[in-house]
Amino acid sequence: MHPRLDIRRFPERTLPRLMAASARNHPDRPFLRFLDPARPDAPLRVLDFAAFARGAGRAAAFLRTVGVGPGDRVLLLAENAPEWQLLAFGAQLLRAEPAALFASLGADQVQAIARRVKPRVAVVSGPAQWAKLAPVAPALAAQGLAAVISGDPLDGVSLPAGLWSATYGEATGEGAPALEPAEVEALARAGTEDDPFLLLFTSGTTGRPKGVRIAQRAIVHAIDGGNSSVGTTAQDTGLHFLPFAHVAGHDHFALALAQGHELLMVARREDIERGLALGPTYLFSVPLVYDRIRSAVEEKLAHLPGPLSALARGALGAAARVRVDGSRRLRDRALTRVADRLVGKAVRAKLGGRVRGLFSGGAPASAALFRFFESLGIPFVELYGMSETAGLISSNLFAGVRRATSAGVLTPDHEVRFAPDGELELRGPLVFRGYLEPEDDEGAFTADGFFRTGDLARLDDEGFLRVEGRKKHLLVLSTGKKLSPEPIEQAIAAAAPFQGAVLLGEGRPFVSAAVFVAKEELSRLAAAGKDAAAELLPRVQAALAAFSDFEKPKRLLVIPGAPADHPGLMTPTLKVKRDALLALLGGSVAEIYGAA
């Protein structure tokens, strides 16, 4: 029998009920401390649990005034802020459906999705976000849009006739119409597990973003799993910066709400350091943020005097052997103490001085990243899920066994099986209610109701889930060989000086790769008169020693910098758009195969 997560369930089974319970049980306990990007020098805004529930009640009162009721939708196109969640919870109290869009989306995508959502109310952070919606505002009004709520006033902005405009303060602030606490409790009690929680949209790496409809049942089952796997308690303080258009951002928020612990909320990635300075006890992030911390450390080590740099690197390797591999050699244990002094102390200070665990999701983390933080005695806990499963399928354990490149152990709330081709299939209460458009449901489920995840996966001998790539990304070479690119791309990206990789080769006789390389390294190679692709190919192949020969790239295309330096290539969830990458590379792909 394979292990499963040991679930500790919350007594209330919807988020509005959990909100009401937290407000009732610890009303004065701080819940949110918000670093407002518009006022970087102002004191932090602090909302306790009772204040949050009152604000959600005011949001519900306002939304009800403009006609929002069960089944209606509230579109949210705004950066993270307490008001984002107050309005979302206000909608949930009314059994309406919040619909979340990434604030970074372009106008064309925003307009296309908004037409599909048909919102009753649109929430924007200010005129810049409203400008994306304005061209389709008359069409949205004809579909039923009644009001726009904005963080910054829309003074002087043209609105369609009859459209109500209000600010965050007018909808959720102290002077806004309010519901009595008893009415908030009554609305929360009237809700059911089948009510809407959220409408999210997939990243659209291969086509039109799909609308994912998640029920209250699913999000509560997701945080049930987190309640045991991540080891946080009411005494913790989390740093929250994942956007609310990402399901992981909601998992983090909802778990803190249910457990009754504090969140430091930042709206911009640029403010993460400000948040860290306030001393969180844990972080929840995509691997990219942790990779940047590791890269900064490695860059500093590279600039140390030769003997000291070699000592630090050797000490980190020894610490990984002790803390990850279980080495008991005296030399390794001695060097582990050196690693803690030379590197660990500085890294812990960089993280605010109080961090006791790092949680990672949204994309796979490399073995090198896992070993780096674990070598310093900082637990690195990787979780796995997707929007369609409310963010949870499996998790490693904060207080338990963790394995590099493993997705951890499965939650018992999923029935799990593997199709003949290795695709992971799931059925159970975490699975979403279906896509926004019925045509997107076609082929998403098996005849007996299992959701086809699209991920190729397996259980290893210990019962840990190993995700080996996306079924739709499977490369089939002209030789008939098949390979999953993701593990190979991760291995390349984990080796210096590479900052990312995308495998190429569909229908070709061999694999090639587009590699993102640190600009400093490219400058050094250019100054030495060396061809970057030729010089870097042996390093790529060395990083892939564990892979078969046909899986190793025979040619490279070199792109300066990190993937994030090329915004046109990235989805809002920081994944590379393969079609956009191929367009950027142009005829270079044909050239490297023509030269074979």
Q: How far is CA 511 from the centre of its chain?
A: 29
Q: What is the pLDDT of residue 1?
A: 67
What average pLDDT does this structure show over 182-189? 97
Q: Do the two domains 287-353+355-471 and 474-594 of this chain adopt the same fold?
A: no
pLDDT cut 90: percent of the chain above it: 73
Q: Is the pLDDT of residue 135 over 50?
A: yes
Q: What is the pLDDT of residue 64?
A: 97
536: pLDDT confidence band, cut at 50, 70 and 90? very high
Q: Is the pLDDT of residue 595 over 60?
A: no
- Burial track 5-29 (b if 16+ CB lie within 10 A, e otherwise): beeeebebbbbbbbbbbbbeebeee
Q: What is the pLDDT of residue 596?
A: 46
User: Which CATH number among 1.10.3720.10, 3.40.50.12780, 3.20.20.100, 3.30.465.10 corresponds to the domain 287-353+355-471?
Assistant: 3.40.50.12780
Q: Is the pLDDT of residue 592 over 90?
A: no
Cβ 147 vs Cβ 165: under 8 Å: yes
**Tally of CA atoms within 13 A in the half-sphere of 1 that contains its CB:** 4
**Which of 45-54, 311-320, 401-410, 511-520 has the lowest average pLDDT?**
511-520
Question: In the chain, how long is the greatest CA-to-CA distance?
Answer: 77
Q: Cα–Cα–Cα angle for 173, 115, 79, nearest 5°? A: 35
Q: Exposed, middle or buried: residue 448 (CB in 10 Å: 0-12, 13-18, 19+)? A: exposed
* Element spanning 247, H or E: helix 247-259
What average pLDDT does this structure show over 236-257? 96
> pLDDT tens, 332-363?
999 999 999 999 999 999 999 999 999 999 88
> pLDDT tens, 546-555?
888 888 999 9
DSSP-assigned beta bridge partners for residue 498: 517
CATH code for the part of the protein at 15-281: 3.40.50.980
> pLDDT tens, 30-88?
999 999 998 888 889 999 999 999 999 999 999 999 999 999 999 999 999 999 999 99
Relative to beta strand 262-266, strand 30-35 is: parallel
**Tally of CA atoms within 13 A in the half-sphere of 406 that contains its CB:** 20
Q: Is the pLDDT of residue 378 over 70?
A: yes
Domain ranges of the chain: 15-281, 287-353+355-471, 474-594
DSSP classification of residue 143: H
> pLDDT tens, 477-508?
877 777 888 888 888 988 888 988 999 888 88
Cα 583 to Cα 151, 493, 513, 577, 586: the distances in Å are: 37, 22, 15, 10, 5
Taking the model in full, what pTM does it have?
A: 0.89
User: Which CATH number among 3.90.320.10, 1.10.357.10, 3.30.300.30, 3.40.50.2300 corresponds to the domain 474-594?
Assistant: 3.30.300.30
432's tokens = 């979403």
Mean pLDDT of the chain: 92
Q: What is the pLDDT of residue 206?
A: 53
Q: Which of 278, 194, 200, 193 shows the shortest CA–CA distance to 242? A: 200
Alpha-carbon distance of 490 to 479, in angstroms, equals 24
